[in-house]
Amino acid sequence: MHALSSIPCLPEAASTPVGAEVYRGLTALPKRLSPWLFYDQRGSELFEAITALPEYYLTRTEHAIFAEYGDEILAAASGDRTLAIIELGAGTAAKTGLLLAAAARRQGRVSYYPIDISVSALEAGRSRIREEMPEVVVRPIVADYTTELDEIPHPGGRRLVLYIGSSIGNFEPSEAASLLRRLRGQLAPGDLLLLGADHIKDRNTLLPAYNDAAGVTAEFNRNMLTRIRRELGASFRPRLFRHCVCWNDRESRIEMHLESLIQQEVSIPALDLTVGFRRGESIHTENSYKFTPESVGGLLTRSGFVVERAWTDAKKWFGVYLAEAV
């Protein structure tokens, strides 16, 4: 995160990660905010609820792939070597348990390093794994893996980095490649990445996954404004913003926006900033890019990896790609 402290006459809050992002994003045209702002404690809880919704196929589809092919994935990853498992954006590690169990069956003791910005999610995951799989040694790391992770843990042996849930789809293509290249730079040849990627499919399946009937995703989206109100003293009234979702066919991505229902002004005292909104003007809060097997392979190749194996569900909605650092 690039702080704004070098810019004169801005208040101190503008040099914090949240303040810097809000200042940049809400003074930009069009307005935008980074999706990492979703994940305060409440946002993390709401996202866990989203993953259980009937419309949100991603989690259960990837979970089904791990349930069916977990032992095969771990066999392909480890060969005859012991694996240490590192997970980027681990959250509560709900799906990861299937892979950890497969690793434990194969090698006995397993070292697992979940990395996430949410302390509460990491603690929940550690408590559950300790209870269910005592042979897994959990060493949580609290960090934003996109900006704060300077070194991937290296306890010895081959490393398998999990980047699942199609989180890679939240980045612009150039940013996704840059993130994976930075990851590759911290790995040794022969280390592995397991990448989960959501595939392009029909709009009738895609759109409800991000705009559920119960309104959980809408609350998740608006919670970003609640966070800014709490942390920066902003006068946002979240109910005056509508959760909007669209499919951008040209970019192959779902977009989430918060659309102002009225003409309004929002003051943010900590930033000494007042932001005007026209009726219908939106804040772009998230992209979720969708992939083909070919586009995933190209992304990994450009980033210094080569795809060794891939697994998908019967409908080919979602893919899990095992790639080696070369």
3-state secondary structure (DSSP) of residue 285: strand
Can you give the pLDDT at residue 91? 85
Please report where in the chains the tokens 């006995």 appear, as a residue: 108
Pick out the chain residues at pLDDT < 50: 1-7
Residue 310, strand partner residues: 321
Residue 189 within a domain: yes
- Are 258 and 222 in contact by the 8 Å Cβ rule? The answer is yes
- Are 231 and 219 in contact by the 8 Å Cβ rule? The answer is no
- Are 157 and 83 in contact by the 8 Å Cβ rule? The answer is yes
Q: Which of 207, 201, 275, 209 is nearest to 241 (CA)?
A: 275
Residue 303 within a domain: yes
Tokens representing 135?
């042979």
Residue 18 within a domain: no
Can you give the pLDDT at residue 5? 41
Pairwise CA distance, residues 67 & 143, whole Å: 28
For 263-285, how does the pLDDT look when each residue is reduced to its tens digit (9 = 90+)? 999 999 999 999 999 999 999 99
Sign for the CA dihedral angle at 118, 211, 318, 300 comes to negative
Can you give the pLDDT at residue 274? 97
Q: What is the CATH number of the domain that holds 76?
A: 3.40.50.150
Domain encompassing residue 158? 57-201+291-325
Residue 32 within a domain: no
Residue 38 within a domain: no
Residue 132 within a domain: yes
Residue 94 within a domain: yes
CB under 8 Å to 311, separation ≥6 — which residues? 65, 69, 72, 73, 319, 320
What value, to the nearest 5°, has the Cα angle with vertex 60 and ends 117 and 114?
25
Pairwise CA distance, residues 253 & 250, whole Å: 8
Residue 42 within a domain: no
Q: Give how many domains the chain has, as a whole number.
A: 1
**Predicted TM-score of the model (pTM):** 0.90
